[in-house]
Every structure is written in C-alpha cells, then in structure tokens.
C-alpha cells in the first residue's frame, strides 16, 4: 500500500458526477412532511407555493439512488471542490494515539462552510424555474453568506432574515452578504405579519431560527416570483451534501482505507447526512462495519434528549410538520450558547436512522468544545468553526480511547468550516467567561408540552 499523504486530493475528473440519495438505501423511510391543517402527507402541489419545483421532486423522492449533478452546478463546484481529506498526523502525534484520524475540510470557500454545496444547487433550480429571487433565514450567517454567493452567481435576488442576536453580534457577516448583493433584515422584524406578532408577544426578543424561518416563508409566499430555500434539515439539502461523503469515500478508496468510526456535528443534520451517506448505505447493506456518531451541543440536545414526534419546523407554525427528534419549536437555546447548531429539530432522515439504532449521538458542553478547537488549531493549523469543533471533540475522545486499548482504528470526521467570525466566542473562552448551560428536564418538558397532537 502507498504511504498516505497529508492531504488526499481527488482530481476534478474524480469528483462524483451525481448526488447520492441515502433514503433509497433505508429500509424504514423517513416519515413524510404533513400538512399542518389536515395532517395528511404534503403533496407536491401544496409545497409548490413555497419551494422550487425541482427541489420538491428531490424532497419527496425516497427511491431514486443517484441524481446527476447538472453541469452548471458541477462547474461551480470545481472552483472549491474536490475538498481535501486530510490525515491529521500532527493531531495523532500530539494525542499519542495509534488511531488514524482523517478530516474532510469544507471551509475552503468564502462562506467558510459546507453550506455552499447546497446553496448553489438551490439557486440553480430557482433560476431554471425562471424565478426572480429567493428568501431564507440565517442564524450564525454561514448559510446566508453561501446563498448570497450562489444568488449573485446566477443573478437572483436574495432576501435574508438573520436572527437578530447574530445580526448585532456579527456585523461583518452581514457585510459579506451585502457584498454579494443580498438584502439582510434582522429577525424578528416589522416587515412581516408574523414578525410583528412575535415582537408584540415578546418585545425585545433577540430572535431564533424558528422565527426567521416564518418570516422568510411569509415573504416568499406573498411576493410574486419568489420561493423559500432552507440551508439544512430537509432531505434535498442532505442530498446535495452527499458530495462530501462521496468524495471522502473515493479518497479513502484510493489508499484502501475504510473507516471504523465516522463523526460529524449535527445542527439540522445536513453535513452529517452528507458525510455519512455512502458509509451508511454500506453499513445498511452489510458491506461495512462502522460506527457513526452525531455530535450536538448539550445546550440544544435534540437527538440525545429530544422526543421523536411530529413538530413544527418554525415558530410561526406556517411550515409543514416534520417527524423528527425535537426539543419543541418553542425551544430557544440559552443566550450564552456560542457555537451554532441551535435548531430545535433534526433532519427526519437522520432521526429515522437514529431511531433504528444505525447511528449514535453524543452531546458535549461548549467549554470542552472550545478546548478541543484550540488543541486542534495549535497542531493542524486551521482555525475551526465552533460547530465543527463538536466533531473534533468526539474524534479526540475516540482517539484517546484507542490509546488505552492500543487499537489502530480509522476515525473520519467532518471539519465543516472555519471560525473567523466566531472570535468573540473564542475570546470568551480565553478570558474564562464562557460557561456551560444544560437545560433542565423541566425546561424541556415545557417545550414538549407545546408539540402538536397528531
Ligand atoms: C451550519 C453549519 C453547521 C451545522 O449545520 P448542519 O446542517 O447540521 O450541517 C455545522 N458547521 C458549520 C461550519 C456550519 O456553518
């Protein structure tokens, strides 16, 4: 076998030509979206006022294995893909572990994360349908940035509702989006009916993703030529993100490597769903014996402490109901939570896989996450995003277990992005001002009590 280089690159020709639909391999399919009024499965016609036609087809298709990547998207991907799979030799050495650690780095584009993989696809289908523009929400700002880039590439208008607390704390994120021509509004705002209602009920609220989604959907459905797009959670987003996993598997195959453990951080589940797609398929088919671990913040623990139930995707309760591991659509993580991954629910695909026992989940507190981030940055030379650092933390934990047992396991984790816009959080950590907040059972129960009855 060849010696494994520090970075395994694929050539442009080796980049996968189609996205892989993990649902096609699942014995138990993810539960369908339900109409919030009738509680019947949503039909394509009912979704059409909200989403682009081609994306609806992708959303509802549980059977097609591969979706060819259109040339326009493929060519755009070539600007920043294939992304490197890095062997973390220096981290292994620092830990003194016999484990082989690899990370797939998705931070090599201006949005600083994997989100551009789906943003460009969604903008493409909106353009192809002849739309004028799209609306969306953004929390920390990576998705809004990615979508702004994609929309400017295809000449689409882009209206972003940005969670107010981030809008105020991350003014430079906003400036990047404006550089790409996006119109950015802090949410909740007075520009929508739902925003006015939320502000009336909760004056001074700093907002949440659930609120921002409701505002973005309202604007999309009430403005001719507009549709709404979402950066995570949905099946279509996991489909686009499968490029991460397909490239990872192709790169490992070059050196005859197979992962024993695949680890990813999980907010809405898109990077993890993409990273694990081919590995989970092989696991389901009995071709690969590997553990798959989702890592989430202890302050927003949807898989590890949530319930598996139909819930609203947004605060305004205008979106379809999705069956998922959820903390309840009213759940708002503590304001001292710094590291993204704040959505109340989890992709229904990942929720089903978790419920079927095919995937594990772990929650970690943020001070441990930043410790791991710093340890990683000092040896591997990349300033990781706090979200990504959840995966780093568990990769380090697993590598240290290998040190105890002497096993040379192959660990692969997703390094979803860079942390340049998260330096206020790093500063808090360095100054000793960061604390860990874990919601109590009572906190969670209050939120569970508001779940819709289906
Ligand atoms: C958005 C984001 C995540 C979490 O989103 P998923 O949909 O769960 O992947 C993780 N890391 C980074 C850098 C992000 O921007």
Q: How confident is the model at residue 209 (pLDDT cuts 50, 70, 90)?
A: confident
Model confidence at 392: pLDDT above 50: yes
104, 113, 143, best to mutate for ligand 1 pocket (most atoms within 8 Å of CB): 113
Which residues does residue 184 pair with via DSSP β-bridges, in sequence order? 160
Residue whose CA is closest, atom 4 of ligand 1?
Answer: 267
Q: Which atom of ligand 1 is nearest to the CA of 418?
A: 13
Q: How far is the CA of 86 from the centre of ligand 1 (A)?
A: 19
Inter-helix orientation angle 116-128/53-60, to 10°: 130
Q: Which atom of ligand 1 is nearest to the CA of 273?
A: 9
Inter-helix orientation angle 235-254/270-284, to 10°: 60
Q: pTM for the whole thing? A: 0.97
Q: Tell me, what's the pLDDT at 371?
A: 98
Residue whose CA is closest, atom 5 of ligand 1?
Answer: 267
Instruction: Give dist(CA 253, CA 290) in Å, integer.
Output: 15
Residues 289-318 have a mean pLDDT of 94
Q: Which domains does the chain have, with CATH numbers?
A: 19-70+114-228 (3.40.50.1100), 85-112+236-448 (3.40.50.1100)
pLDDT above 90: percentage of residues in the chain: 90
pLDDT in tens, 41-76: 999 999 999 999 999 999 999 999 999 999 999 999
Q: Is 417 in the pocket of ligand 1 (CB under 6 A)?
A: yes
Q: Tell me, what's the pLDDT at 317?
A: 83
Q: How far is the CA of 386 from the centre of ligand 1 (A)?
A: 10
Model confidence at 37: pLDDT above 60: yes
Q: How far is the CA of 185 from the centre of ligand 1 (A)?
A: 21
Question: Which tokens is 37 given?
Answer: 């009024």
Which residues does residue 306 pair with via DSSP β-bridges, in sequence order? none
Residues 362-375 have a mean pLDDT of 98
Instruction: Give dist(CA 182, CA 81) in Å, integer.
Output: 24
Instruction: Give dist(CA 447, CA 344) in Å, integer.
Output: 10
Residue whose CA is closest, atom 13 of ligand 1?
Answer: 417
Q: How confident is the model at residue 269 (pLDDT cuts 50, 70, 90)?
A: very high
The structure tokens 């927003």 sit at 300
From 200-214, 368-382, 424-438, the region with the lowest mean pLDDT: 200-214
């Amino acid at each position: 076998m060849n010696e494994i280089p520090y970075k395994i690159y694929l050539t442009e020709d080796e980049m996968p030509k189609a996205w892989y639909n993990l649902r096609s391999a699942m014995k138990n399919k993810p539960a369908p979206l339900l109409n919030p009024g009738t509680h019947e499965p949503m039909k394509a016609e009912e979704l059409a006022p909200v989403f682009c036609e081609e994306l609806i087809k992708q959303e509802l298709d549980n059977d097609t294995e591969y979706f060819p990547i259109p040339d326009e998207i493929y060519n755009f991907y070539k600007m920043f893909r294939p992304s490197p799979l890095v062997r973390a030799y220096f981290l292994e050495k620092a830990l003194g572990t016999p484990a082989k650690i690899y990370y797939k780095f998705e931070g090599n584009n201006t949005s600083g994360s994997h989100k551009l993989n789906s943003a460009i696809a969604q903008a493409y289908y909106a353009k192809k349908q002849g739309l004028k523009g799209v609306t969306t929400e953004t929390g920390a700002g990576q998705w809004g940035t990615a979508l702004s880039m994609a929309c400017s590439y295809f000449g689409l208008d882009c209206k972003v509702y940005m969670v107010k607390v981030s809008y105020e704390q991350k003014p430079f994120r906003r400036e990047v989006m404006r550089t790409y021509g996006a119109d950015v509004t802090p949410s909740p705002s007075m520009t929508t009916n739902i925003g006015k209602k939320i502000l009336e009920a909760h004056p001074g609220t700093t907002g949440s993703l659930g609120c921002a989604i409701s505002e973005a959907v309202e604007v999309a459905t009430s403005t001719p030529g507009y549709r709404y797009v979402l950066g995570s959670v949905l099946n279509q987003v996991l489909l686009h993100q499968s490029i991460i996993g397909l490239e990872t598997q192709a790169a490992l195959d070059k050196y005859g490597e197979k992962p024993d453990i695949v680890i990813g951080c999980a907010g809405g589940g898109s990077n993890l769903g993409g990273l694990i797609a081919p590995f989970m398929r092989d696991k389901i088919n009995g071709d690969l014996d590997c553990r798959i671990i989702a890592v989430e913040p202890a302050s927003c623990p949807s898989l590890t402490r949530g319930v598996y139930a139909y819930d609203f995707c947004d605060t305004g309760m205008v979106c379809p109901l999705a069956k998922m591991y959820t903390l309840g659509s009213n759940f708002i993580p503590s304001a001292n939570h710094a590291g993204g991954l704040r959505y109340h629910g989890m992709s229904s695909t990942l929720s089903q896989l978790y419920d079927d026992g095919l995937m594990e989940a772990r929650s970690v507190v943020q001070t441990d996450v930043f410790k791991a981030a710093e340890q990683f940055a000092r040896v591997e030379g990349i300033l990781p995003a706090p979200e990504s650092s959840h995966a780093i933390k568990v990769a380090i934990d697993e590598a240290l277990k290998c040190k105890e047992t002497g096993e040379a396991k192959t660990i692969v984790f997703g390094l979803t992005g860079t942390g340049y816009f998260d330096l206020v959080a790093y500063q808090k950590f360095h100054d000793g001002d960061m604390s860990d907040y874990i919601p109590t059972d009572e906190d969670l129960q209050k939120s569970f009590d508001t779940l819709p009855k289906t």
